[in-house]
Amino acid sequence: MEIVDNDKIKSIMYDVSKKNILPFFRNLKSNQINYKNNKDIVTSIDIEVENYLNKTLSQLIKKSNFIGEELYFKNPSILDNYNKSEYCWTVDPIDGTSNFVNGKKKFAIMIALTFKKNIIQSWIYKPLTEDLMYATNKKGTYINGHKVFKIKNKKIVNSTGSISFKYWNKKDQNTIYILKNNFKKINSYGSIGCEYFDIVLGKRDFTILSKLSPWDHIPGVLLVRESGGADCHFDKKRYKFNKKCKNLIVSNSKTLNLEIIKKIEEINHDYK
Ligand SMILES: [Mg+2]
């Protein structure tokens, strides 16, 4: 199996951020901003960054495929690429576009490399601080070259994280509204990549997700997994990026994940 040199990805992310992203932070023109489906915000920067990453990453591994958030919008069938090729890049050119557009600091570039059904490497880069977090399957998670060590487990009552309140089926929607009262604090960054970053660092504890776009979660799940955290669907099975599923819990400990699932089961039992 091929392993890509982290320094190569670092310089690609650094270059694209310096050339295409940073000059436009708090400096976007209105004609650079658009809406997908009249709803989700997208800028010409998202598209340029994704095109650049498509071109440069695809050169690093012969016959690798590429899936990007903005390409998907034009052609949803690109998700078939996970079944077509052994190596596939998954990219979110700017995670937290809305923050970026509004001059808020929480946004990131996210890249993951998968091989068949496995996530083998991933990178999340914050252009403004130049912080890079990366992980390789079974080799741990690193921030700016330093290995991240597993942080202490927290109980559910002491934990802070985010919960998606949209896109659930009716039954899960009710469960989620009751579940939210069991945590210390619920808040969201508007950039799931920055949340994954802080889950790894122990600055927050978990995220509970419904709509699972692969570019939003493949990179962060590997970072959390390799730093000693845990990811599972409500059926307790690990995250499967190539299967359609509408729920996921990612947290910095397996104990917390299981505690959350236990709560979900209790709520479902009480309201049956
Ligand atoms: Mg994005």
Q: Can you give the pLDDT at residue 114?
A: 97
How buried is residue 267: exposed, middle or buried, by Cβ count under 10 Å (0-12/13-18/19+)? middle
Q: Can you give the pLDDT at residue 37?
A: 82
Q: Can you give the pLDDT at residue 85?
A: 77
- How many angstroms is it from 238 CA to the middle of ligand 1? 24
Residue 38 three-state SS: coil
- How many angstroms is it from 57 CA to the middle of ligand 1? 17
Q: Are the C-beta atoms of 93 and 55 separated by less than 8 Å?
A: no
Q: Are the C-beta atoms of 215 and 79 separated by less than 8 Å?
A: no
- How many angstroms is it from 105 CA to the middle of ligand 1? 14
- How many angstroms is it from 75 CA to the middle of ligand 1? 16
> pLDDT tens per residue, the chain (272 residues)?
889 999 999 999 999 999 999 999 999 999 999 998 888 899 999 999 999 999 999 999 999 999 999 999 999 999 999 988 799 999 999 999 999 999 999 999 999 999 999 999 999 999 999 999 999 999 999 999 999 998 888 899 999 999 999 999 998 999 999 999 999 999 999 999 999 999 999 999 999 999 999 999 999 999 999 999 999 999 999 999 988 889 999 999 999 999 999 999 999 998 76
- How many angstroms is it from 92 CA to the middle of ligand 1? 5
- How many angstroms is it from 46 CA to the middle of ligand 1? 7
Distances (CA, A) of 269 to 171, 257, 262: 12, 18, 10
Q: Can you give the pLDDT at residue 172?
A: 93
Q: Can you give the pLDDT at residue 83?
A: 87
Those residues whose beta carbon sits under 5 angstroms from the ion ligand 1 are 69, 92, 94-95
- How many angstroms is it from 109 CA to the middle of ligand 1? 8
Q: Mind listing the domains of the chain with CATH numbers?
A: 6-147 (3.30.540.10), 156-270 (3.40.190.80)
Q: Distance between CA 210 and CA 232 in Å, rounded?
A: 12
pTM across the whole model: 0.96
Q: Can you give the pLDDT at residue 271?
A: 77
Q: Distance between CA 121 and CA 113 in Å, rounded?
A: 5
- How many angstroms is it from 271 CA to the middle of ligand 1? 37
